[in-house]
C-alpha cells in the first residue's frame, strides 16, 4: 500500500506554508537574517516539538516565523515544500499563509505574497503542480485587524485565490469575522475556515452560515452534532482532515482513536492533509500511511480519499477529470 499511496496523484488542501519550516531551514534563515534562536541545533528544536494542545503548538509556530523576513525567505520556504510535494506526487496544492504573523513584525505584505507567488509559479513550470494561495486571518486578533490585512493584500489580488481563518480556535468564533469574509467574497475570493478542530460544532455552523465557507478545515468535531453531519453530507461540504496533526495536538489521543472512519461512514467528503508537516512528523504520504496502518484502509478507500481531494479542490473541471482518470488507472 505504501507504493499505492506514493503513486496516487493527490491534492493538498490544508497546508500552512509556515508549518513547512523544517528546523534546518529555520537555522539557515536565522543565520542569514541574523535572528537569534533560543535553540542550539535543529535536533534541539525537534525535541521541543511536544504539544499539549493547539495553543502550545501555535506559541512555537509563531516563534518559528520570526526567521522569515525577506521575499527570498518566503520563496525558499515554498520551494522546499514544492520539492517535497513533487516527491510525494502532489499535483495540486491550496496553501495557507498567515500574513499577520509577519506584518506584525514589520515585514511588508509585498515580500510575503510575491515571494510565495514566484515560488509556486516555478513549481507549476518545473513540476506541473498547480496551486492557489489562501490568505488566512488570525482569529485571536481583531476583526478590524483582519479587515486591514485584507485591504493591504488587495493590491496583490491576482496572486491569491481564497481566504481562510486559523490560529487559536477556542473563544474566537467565526461570526467575529463576518464582515471581512463578506468583503473577500465581493472580491471573488473563495472562502474556507478552520472550525471544529478544538472548537465546538457551533463554530462549523457559523463558518457555513456567517462566513459562507465552501470547505471546512478539520471539522472533526462535527460528529457531535447529527444535524450538522446531515448538512455537511447533503451539501457535500468537504472536510480537510489532518490525522497526524490531530494526534500531535491531542484532539485524539492516538491515531487509532481518530474518527476518520466515522466521518467516511457518515458519507462525508473527507480529504487527507498534513497541516504543519515540519511540526507534526509527516507530509501527506505519511498521513495516508498512518491512517492506512491504523484502520487498514483498502485500495478503494484510499482511492476515494485521493479522489475527494480533487473533488474538493478549486480547479477547472477538465484538469480534475484528467487527474481522476489517472487515479482510476492505478
Ligand atoms: N495555524 C497553523 N496550524 C493551525 C491549526 N492546525 N489550527 C489552527 N491554526 C493553525
Ligand atoms: Zn490548519
Q: Which residues of the chain carry a pLDDT beneath 70?
A: none
Facing residues of 16 across strands? 96
Distance CA 214, CA 238 (A): 8
Proximal ligand: closest to the CA of 250: 1
Instruction: Check: CB of residue 223 under 8 Å from CB of residue 229.
Output: yes
d(CA 96, CA 98): 7
Give the pLDDT score at 1.
Answer: 80
CATH number of 166's domain:
3.20.20.140
Instruction: For ligand 1, pick from 197, 239, 248 the residue to mutate: most ligand atoms within 8 Å of CB.
Output: 197
| Domain residue limits at 28 | 2-328
Ligand 1 atom with minimal separation from the 19 CA: 2
- Ligand 1 centroid–CA 270 distance in Å is 18
Q: pTM of whole model > 0.95?
A: yes
Q: Up-side HSE of residue 233: CA atoms within 13 Å toward CB?
A: 15
- Cβ atoms of 196 and 220 closer than 8 Å: yes
Using an 8 Å Cβ cutoff, are 111 and 74 in contact? yes
Residue bearing the CA closest to ligand 1, atom 8: 167
Distance 19 CA to ligand 2 centre (A): 9
Return the pLDDT at 276.
98
Instruction: Please give the Cα distance from 11 to 269 (Å, whole number).
Output: 14
- Give 255's contacts (C-beta < 8 A, 6+ positions apart): 243, 244, 247, 290, 291, 293, 294
Nearby residues for ligand 2 (ion, Cβ within 5 Å): 275
Instruction: Determine the pLDDT at residue 164.
Output: 99
What's residue 223's pLDDT? 98
Ligand 1 mutation pick, 12, 13, 19, 173, max ligand atoms within 8 A of CB: 19
DSSP string of 50-88, one letter each residue: --SSHHHHHHHHHHHHTT--SHHHHHHHHHHHHHHHHHT
Of 65, 36, 130, 133, nearest to 279 by C-alpha is: 65
Pocket lined around ligand 1, Cβ cut-off 6 Å: 16, 19, 54, 61, 166-167, 194, 197, 245, 275-276
Cα dihedral: 296, 303, 306, 248 (round 10): 0
Task: Tell me, yes or no, if 197 is annotated catalytic.
Answer: yes
User: Tell me, what's the pLDDT at 42?
Assistant: 97
Q: How far is the CA of 239 from the centre of ligand 2 (A)?
A: 12
Number of domains forming the structure of the chain: 1
Q: How many CA atoms lie within 13 A of 41 on its CB side?
A: 3
Give Cβ neighbours of residue 57 (< 8 Å, ≥ 6 apart): 51, 248, 249, 276, 279
Amino acid at each position: 500500500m505504501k507504493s499505492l499511496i506514493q503513486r496516487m496523484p493527490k491534492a493538498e488542501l490544508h497546508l500552512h506554508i509556515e508549518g513547512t519550516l523544517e528546523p534546518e531551514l529555520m537555522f539557515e534563515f536565522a543565520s542569514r537574517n541574523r535572528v537569534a534562536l533560543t535553540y542550539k541545533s535543529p535536533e534541539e528544536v525537534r525535541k521541543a516539538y511536544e504539544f499539549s494542545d493547539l495553543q502550545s503548538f501555535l506559541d512555537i509556530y509563531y516563534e518559528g516565523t520570526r526567521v522569515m523576513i525577506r521575499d527570498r525567505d518566503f520563496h525558499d520556504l515554498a520551494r522546499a515544500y514544492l520539492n517535497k510535494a513533487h516527491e510525494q506526487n502532489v499535483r495540486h496544492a491550496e496553501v495557507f499563509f498567515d500574513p499577520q504573523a509577519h506584518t506584525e513584525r514589520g515585514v511588508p505584505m509585498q515580500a510575503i505574497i510575491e515571494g510565495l507567488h514566484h515560488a509556486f509559479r516555478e513549481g507549476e513550470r518545473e513540476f506541473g503542480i498547480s496551486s492557489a494561495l489562501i490568505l488566512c486571518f488570525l482569529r485571536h486578533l481583531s476583526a478590524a485587524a483582519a479587515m486591514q490585512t485584507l485591504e493591504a493584500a488587495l493590491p496583490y489580488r491576482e496572486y491569491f485565490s481564497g481566504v481562510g481563518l486559523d490560529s487559536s480556535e477556542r473563544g474566537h468564533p467565526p461570526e467575529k469575522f463576518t464582515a471581512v469574509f463578506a468583503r473577500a467574497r465581493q472580491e471573488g475570493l473563495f472562502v474556507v475556515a478552520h472550525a471544529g478542530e478544538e472548537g465546538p460544532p457551533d463554530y462549523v455552523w457559523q463558518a457555513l452560515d456567517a462566513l459562507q465557507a465552501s470547505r471546512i478545515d478539520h471539522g472533526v468535531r462535527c460528529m457531535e452534532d447529527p444535524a450538522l453531519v446531515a448538512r455537511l453530507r447533503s451539501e457535500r461540504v468537504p472536510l480537510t482532515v489532518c490525522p497526524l496533526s490531530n494526534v500531535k495536538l491531542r484532539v485524539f489521543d492516538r491515531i487509532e482513536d481518530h474518527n476518520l472512519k466515522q466521518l467516511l461512514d457518515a458519507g462525508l467528503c473527507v480529504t487527507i492533509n498534513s497541516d504543519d508537516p515540519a511540526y507534526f512528523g509527516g507530509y501527506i504520504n505519511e498521513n495516508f500511511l498512518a491512517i492506512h496502518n491504523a484502520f487498514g484502509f483498502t485500495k478503494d478507500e484510499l482511492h476515494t480519499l485521493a479522489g475527494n481531494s480533487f473533488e474538493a479542490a478549486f480547479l477547472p473541471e477538465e484538469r480534475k477529470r484528467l487527474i481522476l482518470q489517472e487515479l482510476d488507472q492505478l
